[in-house]
Amino acid sequence: MDSISIIIPAYNAATTLKKTLESCLSQTTAPLEIILVNDGSSDATASVADLFKNVIRYFHLENGGVSRARNYGASQAKGDWLLFLDADDRLLSQALEKLREAALKQKVGVAYGMVLEQREPPEQARLNGFNYAAGQPPAGSQRIFWRNAIITPGSAIVRKSLHEKCGGFVTGYEPMEDRDYWIKCGMLEPIAFCETVVLDKLWQPASHGSQHSKRIYRGQVAQRALKNWAQVRNIPADWMPLDREIIKSALDEAVWRRSYTILRPLLTEAQAHGVWHWRAFLLSILFPRKNPQWMMGGMGK
Domain end residue (candidates: 209, 237, 270): 209
Q: How many residues does the chain have?
A: 301
| pLDDT tens, position by position, 143-195 | 999 986 679 999 999 999 999 999 999 999 999 999 999 999 999 999 999 99
Tens-digit pLDDT profile for residues 28-55: 999 999 999 999 999 999 999 999 999 9
d(CA 21, CA 38): 13
From the CA atom positions of the chain, what is the Rg in Å? 20
CA distance 183 to 178: 9
116-147 pLDDT, tens digit each: 988 766 567 778 888 999 999 999 999 999 98
Same domain, 141 and 43: yes
**Whole-number Å distance between alpha carbons of 79 and 207:** 29
Element (H, E) at 37: strand 33-39
Which 3 state secondary structure label does DSSP give 78? coil
Q: Are residues 132 and 223 in the same domain?
A: no
Cis peptide upstream of residue 175 (ω within 30 degrees of 0): yes
Query: Crossing angle of helices 243-257/212-232, nearest 10°?
Result: 170
Domain that holds residue 33: 4-209
Number of domains composing the chain: 2
Rounded to whole angstroms, the Cα distance separating 85 from 4 reads: 12
Query: Which CATH number do you get for residue 69?
Result: 3.90.550.10
In the DSSP assignment, the letter for residue 208 is G
Cα of 182 vs its chain's centroid, Å: 8
Looking at the domain assignment, is residue 301 inside a domain?
A: no
Apex 210 CA angle, 153 and 84, nearest 5: 15
Confidence of residue 205 (pLDDT cuts 50, 70, 90): low
Give the chain's mean pLDDT.
93
End of a domain among 209, 238, 267? 209
